[in-house]
Structure 1
């Protein structure tokens, strides 16, 4: 892999995409069934089941899709503070990133695809809690709308490590002939190295 190939793979990878916006609407039975199967996995053995789970998660998706604060949630979905607390609980259990991963699967069912925008917005809202690890996971999955900022601003450990691996290989290959080290190519890799170092994670990038 050359530096230009690394840039091209990053910029044009077919797996990388932004999710089209969709106005919020309550989940259909099929959409709820697609979410519920993942919900059951993450809550199993982790305390009491979520009360009125479908209604609560509909409310979470409503707030996530609109970008509004929790206090804007209509009372039909429960107390805003309670719903917000349950949202954070599900984030720590891994539900939102699990759903993001399910959407990234080429074999994702149509009902899950239909609510992908709600899912990536929920994951993005949870980034304040989940931090850099979740942002990197979203990037590796190619689900760019789940990331808190554009990828160019983030430290990108996966690609950073790939560049380090290539640079180490070049140095090793020329250990006995250091004067033949391709300086121009090494400089190109060093530029990529600095680029993928990005900026330190900051919680202000994530939504409240």
Structure 2
């Protein structure tokens, strides 16, 4: 099934099979890593190996326990991934890739970065998804943009529901139209958005 054309100013990132980072690619990631971990007091020990492991899991979509032990203990790498997500590394790297002046070495691992950012949405939630949406790399989104939260539309729907409910506030409970209310609730849930959904995510 062909992909829908991206909206203006946005793009898909071509798929790339996982492979360990080259020296040039790692040299582009390292400054961003140093920026987000500065002040934590932890050395960047085995950082390249761990980031490679994170990219492998992100690209494959497999659970952490499938990570080969060459990249460290899966639980340790998973915790490190979550810390880096909270520190803003993946969003920072996505923003760097979206820059038209991004270095070629960073462009080569853009797919790895987008998939890592998408996996981080399970941690960052809707705020992270909206941050990614603003920079326009669709592959980093956890769901298609149509499924993300739309505050303005949600506010209008809530106002419509309140106006629709007003006449029923003074009526007996048995007069309440439950079927119509369930329909309104589905509409509200749609506009509230989803922070993560594997089936509805861009490729």
| Common topology (TM > 0.5) | yes
Output one character per residue of 1:16-37: Cα deviation in whole Å (capped at 9) or x when no partner: 0111110000000000000001
The corresponding residue for 2:113 is 119
Between the aligned partners of 1:199 and 1:151, the Cα distance in structure 2 is 11
Q: Contact 1:18 / 1:145 at 8 angstroms: preserved in 2?
A: yes
The corresponding residue for 1:132 is 126
RMSD value, Cα: 2.6
- Extract unaligned runs of 5+ from structure 2: 157-186
The corresponding residue for 1:41 is 35
Between the aligned partners of 2:85 and 2:7, the Cα distance in structure 1 is 30
The corresponding residue for 2:192 is 200
Structure 1 residue 47 displacement after superposition: 3.2
Q: Contact 1:39 / 1:95 at 8 angstroms: preserved in 2?
A: yes
Q: Residues 109 and 120 (structure 1 numbering): CA distance in 2 closer, same or farther, change over 3 Å?
A: same
| 1:103 and 2:97 correspond | yes
Using the size of structure 2 for normalisation, the TM-score is 0.74
Alignment of 1:159-198 (within 5 A): 160=152, 198=190
Between the aligned partners of 1:12 and 1:143, the Cα distance in structure 2 is 11
Between the aligned partners of 2:65 and 2:42, the Cα distance in structure 1 is 25
Structure 1 residue 128 displacement after superposition: 1.0
Using the size of structure 1 for normalisation, the TM-score is 0.72
Aligned residues: 164
Structure 1 residue 92 displacement after superposition: 0.4
For 1:205, what is the secondary structure of its paired residue?
Answer: coil
Q: Contact 2:114 / 2:139 at 8 angstroms: preserved in 1?
A: yes
